[in-house]
Amino acid sequence: MSSSSLAEQTAAIARRSLLRTLRSIGIIGPIIVFPLFFLALNSAALKRVVNIPHFPTKSYVTFALASTFVLAGMTTVSISGGAIAEDIRTRFLDRLRLTRLRSVALVLGYLAGAAVIAGLAALLYIGVALIAGANIKTGVAGALVVVLLAVLIAVTFASLGVLAALIRPEAVQAVFPLLFVALFLSSQYLPRDLIAKGWFRTVATYNPMSYFIEAPRSLLITGWDGQALALGGGLALLFTVVTVTLASARLRSRVQR
Amino acid sequence: MRVIAGPAHGRRLDLGDGDLVLGRDPDGDNPLSVDVEISRRHAQIVRKGEALVIEDLGSLNGTFVNGERLSTRQVLRRGDEVRVGRSVLTLEGGLQRTVVRERPRAQPRPRVPPPARKERDNGIEVRQLVREFGDTRVVDGVDLIVEPGSIQGFLGPNGAGKSTTVHMLTTLLPPTSGTAVIAGYDIVRQSEQVRASLGVALQEAALDPIMNAWEHMRLQTALQGVPREQREPRARSLIERVGLIDAADRRVETYSGGMKRRLDLALSLVHDPSVLFLDEPTTGLDPKSRSDLWEEVRRLSRDEGVTVFLTTQYLEEADLLADQVAIIDRGKLVAEGTPSQLKSEIGRPTVDAVPADDADRGAIAAVLARFGERSPAAHKGVAVRLTRGAPDLADVVRALDGEGLRVSELNLHAPTLDDVFLMKTGRSLEERPDETAADGEKAPPGEVQASDGQGPGRRSRRPRARR
């Protein structure tokens, strides 16, 4: 019996990940809807912020929409991390490890469910935001890139969840609050150049969350901004590669303890 | 019969006057042995008068005649094509000559040939295997040789080190020291090859509750590298074999414990492993499910030559199934041999008396003590292993009668594996789980205590001290 290819193994795990995700939609549904509440809340509470001189748009819904994608991406920590933690608990992971499955295929496969959820959620958020008066500067093409960015950012967070679960399954629960704090310390509510100079602005400048938000935000408000896209997309890709590599190594070392 | 192409190209198969079993036989010179997709006993061609009749012997991948899967016996005619694994047998030249040629298909051969194996067998050789967790030595220098194609029972109470040993042998846990060779591959240095050779059903059936049997099979066959076109037939064959075809569309969360175990077993067989590890496969099963699983394990060993390593805490299971039994206690092997060899070490039967009046317990124990040494007793009973064996029984009855002691039951028991364990360790095998310490840990002192069978309801439940 020959060993199946990396792509085939990844696809097999991804199929299961999607199956689990779709069959757990009753549990996952509220997780998807949760960022919409923040969008509604922020848009209502902060709508006058657009009156600040040099604020880039007159629609706070459009401005807040970008951070909604990031918040949704953060929820995938519990989807993918929770799935692998459950597989560790039920020993299903041992079943998978006893096959000829490559570690990296396993990790990538687990991320598939998160990617699909993030894509569906992004389409939902864009639809709701458009109904609420948001507009997308870059049009349909930009909206598609926004969805792709949302998926990439979600995969980044999901891989963090997988890594946390492989280090210690209980750690998955701790990741989301930490990311939530990081989100607040970013350019979520205001463009960085409008944040008063001081520690907050410094933190926001060095906080990758800011760039995850600013990449889709640029497509929604500014237009095609190569630098914002490269920073946001590049950082997300870099983080994903690092966490997937670490998670794969961790998975291999699970049997070497 | 001559092989003209494919894995067995150029070789001859002689039908002779008898029956021909098509299958792999690594120890023989059967040309089909080189085809890894053929089961060890795949199909059989039987001569019936002037006709040749073919039947499938429960092969994993099925036998096909002219493209149709064989479900019953079928008479072969000249020119018929019989496909087994990657080979096609074509009957030519009447009954005496059959030609085997490779089935043409665009299937890649295994990219990496198996590395040099030390032995061409599917046995298990364990050498000084040790596993420590911190300061606790859970498995302590286990040496064991399991013959290819045999069923090895691995018996011990909870926490004895059985599962830890299985986890090491299946490469899920690295040994602290020592090693083992499974199917010719070293568990430390060739873990990938070991995994490819073995099937494992762990203690708790590791299944996804929201997936059904087909979905489990699809995942397992893909990950085990089963060729794409064989996945569905193999999945169907295995699901049918374990009797789950009617439930295969249902989510596993609706399955009973027995059904989960059977699916687990089927999943462990998708890649036709030569060694099968079953870690307490029948724990928690009802008698019918247990019996069905035993039959399947027997069939795998008998018909397919699979080496089975079976851990259990059920004496009956080891006694009925295993060709060889190894008993482990606190990480060390304390006994090894066939069940009958081990029991013959005890040799003598036990007489077990239940007092009619509990006040007579002490007196009955004193009378019985004249005939042998104390032994684990049945519920409310007192027992001794008879010094002279069964002939003592009449004297026991006379002695009790002579003392005016009445018993409600008097039973004579042949030696059991529990007696073997008791003799080797001073404790009974059938401990209560809640009285068992974790792997490798000593039971709290208060729980390993002497018992003379006077405590009610303690038969074979509480660990006993050697008497």
Give the model's pLDDT for residue B176: 93
* 8 Å CB contact of A2 and B210: no
DSSP B85: T
For range A137-159, the mean pLDDT: 95
Closest CA of chain B from A9, distance in Å: 6
- Which residues of chain A does B226 touch, with a Cβ-Cβ cutoff of 8 Å? 1
Contacts of A9 in chain B (CB under 8 A): 222-223
Evaluated on CA atoms A81, A83, A84, A85, the torsion sign reads: positive
Is A2–B111 a contact, with Cβ atoms under 8 angstroms apart? yes
Q: What's the pLDDT at B448?
A: 25
Number of C-beta neighbours around residue A77 at 10 A: 28
Do B428 and B418 form a contact (C-beta atoms < 8 A)?
yes
Whether residues B223 and A257 touch (CB distance < 8 A) is answered with no
Q: Give the gap in angstroms from C-alpha A74 to the nearest C-alpha of chain B.
A: 25
B278 vs B284: CA distance, rounded Å? 14
Residues of A in contact with B225 (CB under 8 A): 1-4, 100
- What pLDDT digit, counting tens, does each position of A19-42 carry? 888 887 777 777 788 899 989 998
Residues of chain A numbered 181-220 and touching chain B (CB < 8 Å): none
Q: State the nearest Cα–Cα gap between B88 and chain A, in angstroms.
A: 19
Residue A53 clears pLDDT 90, i.e. is over it: no
**How far off is chain A from B131, nearest CA to CA, in Å?**
11
Determine contact: B188 vs chain A, CB below 8 A: no
Q: How far is A167 from chain B (nearest CA, A)?
A: 17
In whole angstroms, how far apart are CA A53 and each of A50, A223, A228, B287? 8, 20, 22, 79
Q: Does A5 touch chain B (CB under 8 A)?
A: no
Q: Across the interface, do A100 and B218 touch by the CB < 8 Å criterion? A: no
Tell me if A90 and B219 make a contact (CB, 8 A cut-off).
no
Q: Which residue has the higher pLDDT, A70 or B20?
A: A70
Which of the residues A4, A98, A101, A256 would you substitute to probe the B interface, choosing the one with the greatest number of B C-beta atoms within 10 Å?
A: A98
pLDDT for residue A66 is more than 50 = yes
How many Cβ atoms from other residues are within 10 Å of residue B409's Cβ?
13
**pLDDT computed for residue B140 by the predictor:** 92
**Sign of the Cα pseudo-torsion (B31, B37, B39, B45, in order):** negative
What pLDDT is recorded for position B95? 47
Q: Is A8 on the interface with B (CB under 8 A)?
A: yes
Distances (CA, A) of A125 to A34, A39, A141, B184, B424: 11, 9, 16, 57, 70
- Whether the CB-CB separation of B439 and B163 falls below 8 Å is answered with yes
The answer to whether the beta carbons of residues B88 and B81 sit under 8 Å apart is: yes
Question: What pLDDT does residue B27 have?
Answer: 53
Could you list the pLDDT tens digit for every one of the 467 residues in chain B?
A: 554 444 565 566 666 666 777 876 655 556 676 565 677 777 888 777 767 788 887 776 678 777 777 777 787 777 777 777 767 777 665 444 444 444 444 343 333 343 333 334 678 999 999 999 988 999 999 999 998 889 999 988 888 888 899 999 999 889 999 989 998 899 988 888 898 889 998 877 789 999 999 999 999 999 998 998 899 999 999 999 888 999 999 999 999 888 898 899 899 999 989 999 998 888 777 788 788 888 888 888 888 889 999 988 787 788 888 999 998 988 999 888 888 778 777 667 888 889 988 888 889 999 998 988 887 665 668 888 888 777 788 889 999 999 899 998 888 877 777 777 777 777 666 654 433 333 333 332 222 222 223 322 223 323 333 32
pLDDT digits (tens, 9 = 90+) for A210-220: 999 999 999 99
Burial of A48 (0-12, 13-18, 19+ CB in 10 A): exposed
> Where is B142: in which H helix or E strand?
strand B136-146
What integer pLDDT is reported at residue B377 of this predicted model?
A: 61
Q: How far is CA B394 from CA A176, A198, B412, in A?
A: 76, 100, 11
Supply the pLDDT for residue B394.
Answer: 87
Higher-confidence position of A54 and B283: A54
The percentage of residues in chain A with a pLDDT greater than 90, rounded to a whole number, is 54
pLDDT value, residue A220 = 95
Residues of A in contact with B220 (CB under 8 A): 95, 99
B contacts of A13 (beta carbons < 8 Å): 219, 223
Does residue A206 carry a pLDDT above 90?
Answer: yes
Using CA coordinates, name the residue in chain B closest to A103: B223
Select from B171, B200, B272 the Cβ nearest to the Cβ of A255: B171
**Is the CB of B112 inside 8 Å of chain A's CB atoms?**
yes
- Span between the terminal Cα atoms of chain B, in Å: 66
Give the distance from residue B166's alpha carbon to the nearest chain A alpha carbon, in angstroms. 12
The reply to whether A144 touches chain B by the CB within 8 Å rule is no
Cβ <8 Å between B172 and A8: no
pLDDT value of position A156: 95
* Inter-chain residue contact A92 with B207, CB threshold 8 Å: yes
Query: With an 8 Å Cβ cutoff, are A12 and B36 in contact?
Result: no
pLDDT value at residue B16? 64
* A90, A92, A98 ranked by CB distance to B195: nearest: A98
pLDDT over threshold 70, residue A234:
yes
CA dist B260 to A130, B79, B201, B205, Å? 49, 44, 11, 6
| CB proximity A4 to B under 8 Å | yes
Residue among B210, B218, B224 whose CB faces A1 most closely: B224
- Number of other residues whose CB lies within 10 A of the CB of residue B294: 18
Going by their DSSP bridges, the two strands B98-102 and B2-3 should be labelled as parallel
Question: Do B206 and A91 make contact, defined as CB atoms within 8 angstroms?
Answer: yes
